[in-house]
Amino acid sequence: MTASPAATPPGGSTPSSPTKPPFWRNVRTLRIIAQVLTLGIVVGLIYVLQNNLLNNLNRLGISTDFDFLSSEAKFTVRDSGFTADQSVLRMILIGVQNTAAAAFVGIAVALVLGTLIGIGRLSSNWVLRKLATLYVETFRNIPPLVIIIFVGVALFTAGPLPLFTPTNPPGELQIPGTDSNFLIYSNTRLGFPSLMNDDNAGTFWIVMLIALVIAAIVWRWRTKVNELTGADHHRVLYSLGTLLGIGLIAYIALGGPVDFSFPAVSESGRKIDGGLATNDGYVALTLALALYTASHIAEIVRGSILAVAKGQNEAANALALSGFQRYRFVVLPQAARIALPSIINQFLNLTKNTSLATVVAYPEITSLTQSLIGNDQPAPQMILILMLLYLSFSLTISFILNIVNRRFQLEGRT
């Protein structure tokens, strides 16, 4: 058998191989050129702005170094023990500490409150559902600055709490049967019990950190047992028992390295000694931001629950699970995968909104930066430090929660 000649197209000509277009018509080449030009324009603009800034600072005789961080701050910080002769760097660290205290507590309160209100919006109880809706529509539509001012005025400035002066002592709630205070409250300060470190406290907390890691390993072990055998995991019981057991042994072996410290009014009648003392600015800021952010988280949680397949709820009802069990084991774990990315954004917003604390005289990093600039510290360097600190807060929160988010995601099957 002989091979037949290849068929030729009509007209008798063979197709030619496609030719490459010239570079000025090549889409890929044009895209690369456009990106390089854009990058060059951005770099050039930054260079021009930097030169302009440096020239203006030199003309005005303003230093561009960071030696001022070791100079005296020249003023005190409220309720911190910071004195005017301490360094600017030390004051910035106090501002970071205060910002973190407001942000992390606010995040915890907003998450719990927002989740409960989001579930409440889907309740079959008409009163609960309408109250949750009223909360969301009220706080979500009011600027956070207004809420902070309202909480500060309504709860403290013009609120029912007593004064804190030598002639007008604050309110005190004592532990029954003792002389120790469980709470000291006034319109400027609050005091709570706290832990106080004694000898060997450092060793004790290192042991507790190791115990926490061991408890996490026990948690994973009990999870694996449940997945492989179907037996009850009892993760909370085993992990908490491990943590408390190791902690108790370490506490006894180290001779009681920590103890409770209870708040008490000082002899001068002007401050709180012992315990954990805070001020009205911190409470007003943290509470207001938590209330505001919870209204947004509630809507995220509600939408995420509605996004869970209807069959999941029907299957839970078919298994005769209670309402709590249905949410705990079926609905919320699936809704969390949907809600977490949006909730991360709300956490970042809450952290950045702590910069509004100036209106309630809470010394977080932005208000301290403004005060330092007002006391002749160089504004460009201070603003740059402030921007980098907020960037660090945001990147840290995003990094940690993105790890959690990846753990929540379902693994694809090959």
**How far, in Å, CA of 65 to CA of 36, rounded?**
33
Residue 277 β-bridge partners: 191
Q: Closest Cα partner for 206 from 246, 176, 240?
A: 246
Q: Report the alpha-carbon angle 285-291-295, nearest 5.
A: 145
User: Of 287, 289, 285, which Cα lies nearest the Cα of 142?
Assistant: 289
One digit per residue, pLDDT tens: the chain, 414 residues?
455 555 555 555 555 556 777 777 788 888 899 999 999 999 999 999 989 988 888 888 878 888 889 988 888 888 777 888 899 999 999 999 999 999 999 999 999 999 999 999 998 899 999 999 999 999 999 999 999 999 999 888 888 888 888 888 888 898 888 888 889 988 888 899 988 888 888 899 999 999 999 999 999 999 898 888 888 888 889 999 999 999 999 999 988 899 888 998 888 888 888 888 888 899 999 999 999 999 999 999 999 999 988 888 888 888 888 878 888 888 888 888 899 999 999 999 999 999 999 999 899 999 999 999 988 888 888 999 999 999 999 999 999 988 888 877 765 544
Closest Cα partner for 91 from 394, 374, 406, 401?
Answer: 374
Q: pTM of the predicted model, to two decimals?
A: 0.83
Alpha carbons 68 and 73: distance in angstroms, whole number: 9
Pairwise CA distance, residues 250 & 139, whole Å: 46
Closest by CA to 194, choosing from 256, 258, 124, is 258
CA–CA separation, 263 vs 269, rounded Å?
13
